[in-house]
Amino acid sequence: METHAHLTPLDRLFLERAVELAARGIGNTSPNPPVGAVVVRDGRILGEGYHHRAGDAHAEANALRDVNDASGTTVYVSLEPCNHVGRTPACSHTLADAGVSRVVVGALDPNPKTNGAGISFLRERGVRVDVTDDQRARAMIEPFGESVCSDRPYVALKIAMSLDGFITSEPNVQERITSEEERLYVRDLRIAHDAVMVGARTVRVDDPLLTVRPPHDRLREYVRVVACSSGSVNPASRIFEPVPGYAKTVVLAPAGARERFADLAGVADVLFAGNDDATELDLHAALSALRRERGVQSVLCEGGPMLAGKLISSELCDRLIWAIAPLLLRGDLAVPALAGNGISGKRLRFDRVESVGPDVVISGVFERV
């Protein structure tokens, strides 16, 4: 598929607007990706729309809704239009039937099954289609793109550490080292991912609520997940407190240790995974179950070091989001950002670096070997 279309500066502005509209669906659209669309004639915007939630109209249909006559218009859409009749009509048909003369696409659909079918259909119907590879458009569908090619959810791993690589100056101490700005940055990440996950040890030590504060009204329920690799957690932990808009907290537990989780029965949604004789958690099996049985397509993991290390060594981590606080913590008791084996030598490609308040956030993806 040609992705080097020549776009004019105005084309880029309208596409940017489509991406901005798409962002309004962040957190709501799963298992679909967020998509936005803008209908333009002679440099004027006639209609705008975005995909609100799975099952509702797609972005293109929403953008065309209030346009009496779309013939001869250009439609800017953040993601390649679908060619698939599901709960809603295929967008490629909607666009062609409306008489649209040109479609500008911000990013290709990463679903290999799609294979450009919508674009081919439009071109066959005489619609000019310009496909580009817009960085923001692509970033917005990253979780969707990874999860459609896999049997497990997309996993982003977020870590906050000191410049010299430690998360606290001593074990079992709750210590916030990053800034309020970084907290708000992570808040937005929590909104954007279907679920937020921590390890059992983090629940024991930090006892986090793991909610979105200040609140953000999401069309889908928030999901909190605790991965219990070997031990269990206290049913009185704050993470199990019922919160409106939040599903019952999921506990990922090894299928061979059911008795260990008996006291969580009424409190949590315990999801047993792996073989019936496994007393330690098979993370891959647990994540697959989370997707298959709870419909979770994307997970933001917020630590701790054991779970983070295991996600990396098991190659279950799609993106690292690494916040670095401007302080040093080295000392005999300081806790390193990652724990466990099988990490050394893993290579990444950094693709985002930004200052977030006084902190720096570096983000990247692992090199596939």
176 binds its own copies (CB under 8 A): no
Q: Which stretch binds its own copies (CB under 8 A): 1-9, 150-158, 196-204, 334-342?
A: 334-342
Q: How would DSSP label each residue in 85-120?
A: -SSS--HHHHHHHTT--EEEESS----TTTTTHHHH
How is residue 256 annotated by DSSP?
G
How would you class 31 by CB atoms within 10 Å of its CB: exposed for 0-12, middle for 13-18, buried for 19 or more? middle
Task: Map tokens 């048909």 to a residue.
Answer: 93
Helical residues (DSSP H) of 65-199, grouped into ranges: 91-97, 117-124, 135-140, 142-147, 180-192
Note if 315 is an active site residue: no
What's the half-sphere exposure (Cβ side, CA atoms, 13 Å) at 213? 7
68 binds its own copies (CB under 8 A): no
Compute the least distance from the CB of residue 143 to its own copies, in Å.
Answer: 21
CA dihedral 28, 138, 99, 127 (to 10 degrees): -160
Nearest CA to 187 out of 164, 204, 219, 209 is that of 209
185 binds its own copies (CB under 8 A): no
Of 2, 16, 48, 60, the active-site residue reads 60
Which of residues 281 and 325 has its CB atom nearest to its own copies in the complex? 325
**Measured between alpha carbons, how far is 287 from 248 in angstroms, rounded to an integer?**
17
358 binds its own copies (CB under 8 A): yes
Task: Map tokens 């990396």 to a residue.
Answer: 312
Binding residue (CB under 8 A) for its own copies from 32, 169, 211, 249: 169
Using CA atoms, how far residue 323 sits from 8, 119, 179, 209, in Å, is: 36, 39, 10, 20
Binding residue (CB under 8 A) for its own copies from 4, 345, 368, 369: 345
209 binds its own copies (CB under 8 A): no
Compute the least distance from the CB of residue 336 to its own copies, in Å.
Answer: 7
Nearest CA to 218 out of 240, 243, 241, 199 is that of 243
Task: Map tokens 């084996």 to a residue.
Answer: 341
Classified as helix, coil or strand, 309 is helix
257 binds its own copies (CB under 8 A): no
Binding residue (CB under 8 A) for its own copies from 4, 6, 113, 347: 347
Which of residues 239 and 325 has its CB atom nearest to its own copies in the complex? 325
Number of residues that bind its own copies (CB under 8 A): 40
Nearest CA to 60 out of 91, 24, 100, 105 is that of 91
165 binds its own copies (CB under 8 A): yes
Binding residue (CB under 8 A) for its own copies from 144, 166, 185, 222: 166
Question: Which token pair is 119?
Answer: 């674009």
Compute the least distance from the CB of residue 165 to its own copies, in Å.
Answer: 2
| Residue 195 Cα to chain centre, angstroms | 9
Compute the least distance from the CB of residue 352 to its own copies, in Å.
Answer: 10
By DSSP bridging, strand 298-301 and strand 154-162 are parallel
Which of residues 157 and 299 has its CB atom nearest to its own copies in the complex? 157
Which of residues 111 and 313 has its CB atom nearest to its own copies in the complex? 313
Compute the least distance from the CB of residue 130 to its own copies, in Å.
Answer: 29
139 binds its own copies (CB under 8 A): no
Compute the least distance from the CB of residue 156 to its own copies, in Å.
Answer: 15
173 binds its own copies (CB under 8 A): no
Window 285-324: contact mask with its own copies (x via CB under 8 A): ------------------------x--x-------x-x-x
Q: Which stretch binds its own copies (CB under 8 A): 51-59, 94-102, 216-224, 332-340?
A: 332-340
By the criterion CB under 8 A, which residues form the site for its own copies?
161, 163-166, 169, 309, 312, 320, 322, 324, 326-332, 334, 336-339, 341, 343-350, 353-355, 358-360, 362, 364
Catalytic residues: 60
